[in-house]
């Protein structure tokens, strides 16, 4: 008889440990997973790594007719804009930058391989940081960012995903126009 009681006690503790989570927390987790999927270049979007791997430093400064940007300009713009959005999300002392001067590079081409690699590494680091913010259940995606203008983390994460997807699409078209 003692064995039966201990089996029942074990079953009760297992049920308590696996009680269903609320619909709100399930939906929150699903939203976070979807945002991470978008930030990583999922669905109809190409990933950053998949596209940037096609580019070499000599091609990065190549201009084509009727297209205003080089790959270097697009990469730097993506990096600068993403960093700015991330800073807005996490820095209480955030100060808005000057549009468009502070969001585009001064040069059409990277100085060298080191500059190209550094820009790629910085972009990836900031993207991972944004992904970590989105994945963190302690970060309320719907809460207004106190020092902002009513913007939320959800809005900013979607902005990063949308902005990156747009310019990655430009990189694809630029590469195809160059013939690479």
Predicted local confidence at residue 180, as pLDDT: 79
Buried b (16+ CB within 10 A) or exposed e, 28-64: beeebeebbebbbbeeebbebeebbeebebebbbbbe
In this structure, which topology does domain 25-178 adopt according to CATH?
1.20.120
Q: Domain map of the chain by residue range?
A: 25-178
**DSSP-derived 3-state class of residue 152:** strand
Predicted local confidence at residue 21, as pLDDT: 66
Predicted local confidence at residue 11, as pLDDT: 46
- The pair of structure tokens assigned to 58 is 């000599």
Predicted local confidence at residue 18, as pLDDT: 46
Q: Indicate the pTM of the whole model.
A: 0.86
Average pLDDT by stretches of 10, the chain with 180 residues? 47 46 88 97 92 96 96 98 98 96 97 98 98 97 96 98 97 94
- Separation between Cα atoms, residue 174 and residue 180, nearest integer Å: 9
Contact 41, 48 (CB under 8 A): yes
Going by C-alpha positions, the residue among 163, 176, 174, 165 that lies closest to residue 66 is: 174
């Amino acid at each position: 008889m003692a064995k039966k009681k201990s089996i029942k006690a074990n079953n009760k503790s297992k049920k308590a440990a696996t009680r269903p989570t609320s619909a709100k927390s399930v939906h929150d987790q699903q939203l976070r997973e979807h945002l991470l999927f978008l930030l990583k270049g999922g669905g109809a979007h190409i990933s950053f790594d998949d596209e940037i791997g096609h580019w070499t430093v000599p091609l990065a400064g190549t201009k084509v007719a009727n297209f205003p940007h080089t790959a270097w300009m697009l990469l730097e713009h993506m990096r600068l804009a993403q960093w700015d959005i991330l800073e807005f999300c996490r820095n209480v002392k955030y100060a808005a930058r000057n549009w468009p001067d502070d969001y585009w590079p001064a040069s059409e081409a990277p100085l060298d391989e080191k500059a190209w690699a550094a820009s790629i590494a910085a972009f990836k680091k900031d993207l991972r940081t944004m992904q970590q913010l989105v994945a963190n259940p302690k970060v309320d995606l719907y809460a207004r960012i106190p020092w902002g203008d009513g913007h939320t983390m959800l809005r900013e994460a979607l902005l990063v995903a949308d902005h990156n997807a747009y310019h990655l699409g430009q990189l694809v078209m630029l590469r195809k126009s160059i013939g690479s």
